[in-house]
A = this chain, B = another copy of it.
Amino acid sequence: MPRIRLTLAYDGTHFAGWQVQPGQRTVQGVLERALAPLLMRRGVPAPPPRVHGSGRTDSGVHAVGQVAHVDVPEHRRGFPWQKALNATLPPDVRVVAAAEVGNDFHARFSARSKTYAYTLWIDPAYVLPQRARYVWQCGPLDLDAMDRAAALLLGEHDFAAFRNTGTNTESTIRTLYRIDRSTGLHPAECVLRFCASGFLKQMVRNLTGCLVAVGRGKAGPENIRSYLEEGDRSAAPATAPAQGLCLEWVEYPEAPAQGGHGDEHQMGPDRSPAPH
Protein backbone atom coordinates (compact mmCIF):
# COMPACT_ATOMS: atom_id res chain seq x y z
CA MET A 1 0.00 0.00 0.00
CA PRO A 2 1.29 3.48 -0.82
CA ARG A 3 2.32 5.44 2.24
CA ILE A 4 1.48 9.16 2.37
CA ARG A 5 3.32 11.63 4.50
CA LEU A 6 1.15 14.55 5.64
CA THR A 7 2.43 17.83 7.04
CA LEU A 8 -0.26 19.39 9.19
CA ALA A 9 -1.09 22.73 10.74
CA TYR A 10 -3.77 23.15 13.37
CA ASP A 11 -5.14 25.64 15.81
CA GLY A 12 -5.33 23.54 18.98
CA THR A 13 -7.84 25.78 20.76
CA HIS A 14 -10.85 23.58 20.02
CA PHE A 15 -9.10 20.19 19.94
CA ALA A 16 -8.67 17.80 22.86
CA GLY A 17 -5.14 17.19 21.59
CA TRP A 18 -3.83 14.94 18.85
CA GLN A 19 -4.78 11.46 19.93
CA VAL A 20 -8.14 9.82 19.28
CA GLN A 21 -10.25 9.65 22.41
CA PRO A 22 -13.87 8.51 22.67
CA GLY A 23 -16.31 11.42 22.69
CA GLN A 24 -13.59 14.02 22.16
CA ARG A 25 -12.73 16.17 19.14
CA THR A 26 -9.10 15.34 18.36
CA VAL A 27 -6.87 16.11 15.37
CA GLN A 28 -6.19 12.45 14.67
CA GLY A 29 -9.90 11.67 14.89
CA VAL A 30 -10.89 14.53 12.56
CA LEU A 31 -8.24 13.44 10.04
CA GLU A 32 -9.28 9.80 10.09
CA ARG A 33 -12.92 10.76 9.58
CA ALA A 34 -11.97 13.00 6.64
CA LEU A 35 -9.84 10.23 5.09
CA ALA A 36 -12.36 7.38 5.34
CA PRO A 37 -14.63 8.37 2.42
CA LEU A 38 -11.59 9.06 0.22
CA LEU A 39 -10.40 5.46 0.54
CA MET A 40 -13.62 3.81 -0.69
CA ARG A 41 -13.73 2.03 -4.03
CA ARG A 42 -17.01 2.00 -5.94
CA GLY A 43 -18.82 2.86 -2.72
CA VAL A 44 -17.39 -0.09 -0.78
CA PRO A 45 -16.05 1.17 2.56
CA ALA A 46 -12.39 0.51 3.23
CA PRO A 47 -11.12 -0.43 6.69
CA PRO A 48 -10.95 2.71 8.86
CA PRO A 49 -7.62 4.40 8.18
CA ARG A 50 -5.08 4.84 10.93
CA VAL A 51 -3.11 8.08 10.91
CA HIS A 52 0.24 7.82 12.70
CA GLY A 53 1.54 11.12 14.09
CA SER A 54 5.12 12.05 14.92
CA GLY A 55 3.88 12.28 18.49
CA ARG A 56 0.92 13.48 20.50
CA THR A 57 0.26 17.10 21.18
CA ASP A 58 -1.70 18.02 24.31
CA SER A 59 -5.14 19.54 24.37
CA GLY A 60 -4.87 23.20 23.31
CA VAL A 61 -1.40 22.90 21.77
CA HIS A 62 -1.00 24.23 18.22
CA ALA A 63 1.03 23.00 15.26
CA VAL A 64 2.37 24.44 12.03
CA GLY A 65 4.52 21.43 11.10
CA GLN A 66 3.11 18.26 12.66
CA VAL A 67 3.92 15.22 10.51
CA ALA A 68 1.86 12.06 10.13
CA HIS A 69 1.71 9.10 7.78
CA VAL A 70 -1.13 6.95 6.54
CA ASP A 71 -1.26 3.91 4.28
CA VAL A 72 -3.79 4.12 1.47
CA PRO A 73 -5.16 1.58 -1.00
CA GLU A 74 -3.25 0.90 -4.21
CA HIS A 75 -6.03 2.40 -6.37
CA ARG A 76 -5.45 5.77 -4.68
CA ARG A 77 -1.83 6.13 -5.76
CA GLY A 78 -1.30 9.63 -7.18
CA PHE A 79 -4.48 10.99 -5.57
CA PRO A 80 -4.44 14.75 -4.77
CA TRP A 81 -4.45 14.26 -1.00
CA GLN A 82 -3.81 17.85 0.00
CA LYS A 83 -6.57 19.29 -2.13
CA ALA A 84 -9.08 16.54 -1.29
CA LEU A 85 -8.46 16.66 2.45
CA ASN A 86 -8.45 20.45 2.68
CA ALA A 87 -11.80 20.46 0.87
CA THR A 88 -13.42 18.45 3.67
CA LEU A 89 -11.41 19.11 6.83
CA PRO A 90 -12.63 21.84 9.20
CA PRO A 91 -10.68 25.11 8.80
CA ASP A 92 -8.80 24.69 12.10
CA VAL A 93 -6.77 21.83 10.64
CA ARG A 94 -5.03 22.05 7.26
CA VAL A 95 -2.80 19.82 5.17
CA VAL A 96 0.28 21.96 4.47
CA ALA A 97 1.91 19.29 2.29
CA ALA A 98 1.27 15.71 1.20
CA ALA A 99 3.69 13.37 -0.55
CA GLU A 100 4.08 9.65 -1.17
CA VAL A 101 7.00 8.22 0.80
CA GLY A 102 8.67 4.83 1.06
CA ASN A 103 7.22 2.23 3.41
CA ASP A 104 10.30 2.56 5.60
CA PHE A 105 9.19 6.08 6.55
CA HIS A 106 7.48 6.25 9.92
CA ALA A 107 6.25 9.61 11.22
CA ARG A 108 7.23 8.75 14.77
CA PHE A 109 10.17 6.34 14.52
CA SER A 110 11.96 8.03 11.62
CA ALA A 111 11.96 11.47 13.28
CA ARG A 112 15.44 12.78 14.00
CA SER A 113 14.51 15.91 15.93
CA LYS A 114 11.56 18.10 16.81
CA THR A 115 11.29 21.84 17.25
CA TYR A 116 8.65 23.42 19.44
CA ALA A 117 8.09 27.15 19.98
CA TYR A 118 6.65 28.52 23.18
CA THR A 119 5.45 32.13 23.04
CA LEU A 120 5.44 34.25 26.18
CA TRP A 121 3.72 37.66 26.33
CA ILE A 122 5.73 39.92 28.62
CA ASP A 123 3.57 43.06 28.76
CA PRO A 124 1.51 42.85 31.97
CA ALA A 125 -0.98 45.52 30.86
CA TYR A 126 -2.67 43.77 27.95
CA VAL A 127 -2.49 40.99 25.37
CA LEU A 128 -3.15 41.79 21.74
CA PRO A 129 -6.54 40.15 20.95
CA GLN A 130 -5.17 38.75 17.69
CA ARG A 131 -2.49 36.85 19.65
CA ALA A 132 -4.38 35.91 22.83
CA ARG A 133 -4.97 32.29 21.78
CA TYR A 134 -1.29 31.70 21.02
CA VAL A 135 0.61 33.18 23.96
CA TRP A 136 0.98 32.91 27.72
CA GLN A 137 0.75 36.31 29.39
CA CYS A 138 3.36 36.06 32.11
CA GLY A 139 4.51 39.65 32.64
CA PRO A 140 8.06 41.04 32.78
CA LEU A 141 10.91 38.53 32.90
CA ASP A 142 14.65 38.66 33.48
CA LEU A 143 15.56 37.38 30.02
CA ASP A 144 19.30 37.27 30.64
CA ALA A 145 18.79 35.00 33.64
CA MET A 146 16.57 32.78 31.48
CA ASP A 147 19.29 32.54 28.83
CA ARG A 148 21.84 31.47 31.44
CA ALA A 149 19.42 28.88 32.84
CA ALA A 150 18.64 27.58 29.34
CA ALA A 151 22.34 26.92 28.74
CA LEU A 152 22.35 24.53 31.72
CA LEU A 153 19.56 22.48 30.17
CA LEU A 154 21.30 21.90 26.84
CA GLY A 155 22.83 18.55 25.95
CA GLU A 156 22.03 15.02 27.07
CA HIS A 157 20.28 14.83 30.42
CA ASP A 158 17.81 12.74 32.34
CA PHE A 159 14.78 15.01 32.04
CA ALA A 160 12.65 13.06 34.55
CA ALA A 161 11.95 16.28 36.51
CA PHE A 162 10.40 17.74 33.36
CA ARG A 163 8.17 14.82 32.49
CA ASN A 164 4.60 14.74 33.59
CA THR A 165 3.91 12.07 36.18
CA GLY A 166 1.68 9.15 35.32
CA THR A 167 3.39 8.23 32.06
CA ASN A 168 5.11 4.97 31.24
CA THR A 169 8.60 3.96 32.28
CA GLU A 170 10.62 4.40 29.09
CA SER A 171 13.94 6.16 29.30
CA THR A 172 13.75 9.78 30.35
CA ILE A 173 17.09 10.63 28.76
CA ARG A 174 16.88 13.09 25.89
CA THR A 175 19.28 15.40 24.08
CA LEU A 176 18.31 19.05 23.96
CA TYR A 177 20.13 20.56 20.98
CA ARG A 178 19.05 24.15 21.24
CA ILE A 179 16.95 26.66 23.16
CA ASP A 180 16.77 29.89 21.18
CA ARG A 181 15.10 33.03 22.41
CA SER A 182 13.78 35.63 19.97
CA THR A 183 11.26 38.43 19.76
CA GLY A 184 8.03 37.30 18.11
CA LEU A 185 5.62 38.94 15.75
CA HIS A 186 5.01 41.66 18.32
CA PRO A 187 7.67 43.27 20.56
CA ALA A 188 5.87 41.95 23.66
CA GLU A 189 6.29 38.36 22.45
CA CYS A 190 9.26 36.38 23.68
CA VAL A 191 9.57 33.10 21.77
CA LEU A 192 11.47 30.18 23.28
CA ARG A 193 12.30 27.61 20.60
CA PHE A 194 13.31 24.13 21.75
CA CYS A 195 14.97 21.57 19.48
CA ALA A 196 15.63 18.07 20.84
CA SER A 197 16.03 14.46 19.77
CA GLY A 198 12.60 13.95 21.26
CA PHE A 199 10.47 15.28 24.06
CA LEU A 200 8.84 13.59 27.06
CA LYS A 201 5.21 14.20 27.94
CA GLN A 202 4.71 17.95 28.61
CA MET A 203 8.48 18.41 28.61
CA VAL A 204 8.44 21.71 26.65
CA ARG A 205 5.73 23.14 28.88
CA ASN A 206 7.63 22.02 31.98
CA LEU A 207 10.93 23.48 30.71
CA THR A 208 9.10 26.72 29.89
CA GLY A 209 7.51 26.81 33.36
CA CYS A 210 11.00 26.39 34.82
CA LEU A 211 12.54 29.13 32.66
CA VAL A 212 9.70 31.52 33.51
CA ALA A 213 10.30 30.79 37.22
CA VAL A 214 13.92 31.78 36.63
CA GLY A 215 12.81 34.90 34.75
CA ARG A 216 10.65 35.87 37.74
CA GLY A 217 13.52 35.37 40.18
CA LYS A 218 11.86 32.32 41.79
CA ALA A 219 14.61 29.88 40.76
CA GLY A 220 18.29 30.13 39.88
CA PRO A 221 21.02 28.10 38.20
CA GLU A 222 21.52 25.97 41.32
CA ASN A 223 17.85 24.96 41.15
CA ILE A 224 18.18 23.90 37.50
CA ARG A 225 21.11 21.65 38.43
CA SER A 226 19.20 20.05 41.29
CA TYR A 227 16.04 19.50 39.20
CA LEU A 228 18.14 17.63 36.65
CA GLU A 229 20.03 15.63 39.29
CA GLU A 230 17.10 14.71 41.49
CA GLY A 231 14.57 14.02 38.75
CA ASP A 232 11.61 14.98 40.92
CA ARG A 233 8.76 16.50 38.92
CA SER A 234 7.05 17.78 42.05
CA ALA A 235 10.14 19.81 43.00
CA ALA A 236 10.31 21.65 39.66
CA PRO A 237 8.15 24.70 38.79
CA ALA A 238 4.60 24.35 37.44
CA THR A 239 3.78 23.43 33.86
CA ALA A 240 3.23 26.35 31.46
CA PRO A 241 -0.26 26.50 29.89
CA ALA A 242 -0.89 24.65 26.63
CA GLN A 243 -1.97 27.61 24.48
CA GLY A 244 1.52 29.16 24.18
CA LEU A 245 2.95 26.00 22.62
CA CYS A 246 3.28 25.17 18.93
CA LEU A 247 4.92 22.19 17.23
CA GLU A 248 6.88 23.84 14.47
CA TRP A 249 9.03 21.23 12.80
CA VAL A 250 9.78 17.50 12.72
CA GLU A 251 13.05 16.63 11.06
CA TYR A 252 13.66 13.37 9.17
CA PRO A 253 16.89 12.05 7.69
CA GLU A 254 15.69 12.47 4.10
CA ALA A 255 13.63 15.02 2.23
CA PRO A 256 10.12 13.85 1.39
CA ALA A 257 9.72 12.03 -1.91
CA GLN A 258 8.35 13.63 -5.05
CA GLY A 259 4.66 13.82 -5.78
CA GLY A 260 3.52 16.59 -3.50
CA HIS A 261 3.78 20.13 -2.42
CA GLY A 262 6.99 19.30 -0.64
CA ASP A 263 8.34 22.54 0.70
CA GLU A 264 7.29 23.16 4.24
CA HIS A 265 6.95 26.66 5.50
CA GLN A 266 7.86 27.47 9.06
CA MET A 267 6.66 30.25 11.27
CA GLY A 268 9.30 32.30 13.01
CA PRO A 269 12.84 33.15 12.08
CA ASP A 270 14.51 29.75 12.45
CA ARG A 271 13.78 27.68 9.39
CA SER A 272 16.83 25.46 9.39
CA PRO A 273 16.08 21.78 9.77
CA ALA A 274 18.43 21.76 12.60
CA PRO A 275 20.40 19.68 15.05
CA HIS A 276 24.13 19.11 15.03
- The oligomer's copy count stands at 2
Interface stretch among A89-97, A146-154, A213-221?
A89-97
Nearest-neighbor residue (CB-CB) of A97 within chain B: B125
Give residues 75-103 of A contacting B (CB, 8 Å): 82-83, 86, 91-96
Of B83, B86, B96, B129, the residue contacting A94 (CB under 8 A) is: B129
Q: Is A10 an interface residue (CB 8 A)?
A: yes
Is the pair B94, A265 in contact by a Cβ cutoff of 8 Å?
A: no
Interfacial chain B residues near A123, Cβ < 8 Å: 265
Is the pair A95, B126 in contact by a Cβ cutoff of 8 Å?
A: yes
User: Which size class do A's interface residues fall under?
Assistant: 20 to 34
A121 to chain B minimum Cβ distance, whole angstroms, is 11
Q: Is A42 an interface residue (CB 8 A)?
A: no
B-contacting residues of A (Cβ < 8 Å)?
9-11, 62, 64, 82-83, 86, 91-96, 123, 125-130, 132-134, 185-188, 261, 265, 267
Supply 21 A–B pairs (Cβ within 8 Å), ascending by A.
A9-B128, A9-B129, A9-B130, A11-B129, A11-B130, A62-B130, A64-B128, A64-B130, A82-B126, A83-B125, A86-B125, A91-B127, A91-B129, A93-B129, A94-B126, A94-B128, A95-B125, A95-B126, A96-B128, A123-B265, A130-B267
Beyond the given pairs A9-B126, A96-B128, 8 more chain A to chain B contacts, judged by CB atoms under 8 angstroms and listed by A's residue number, are A11-B129, A83-B125, A86-B125, A91-B129, A91-B132, A96-B126, A186-B265, A186-B267
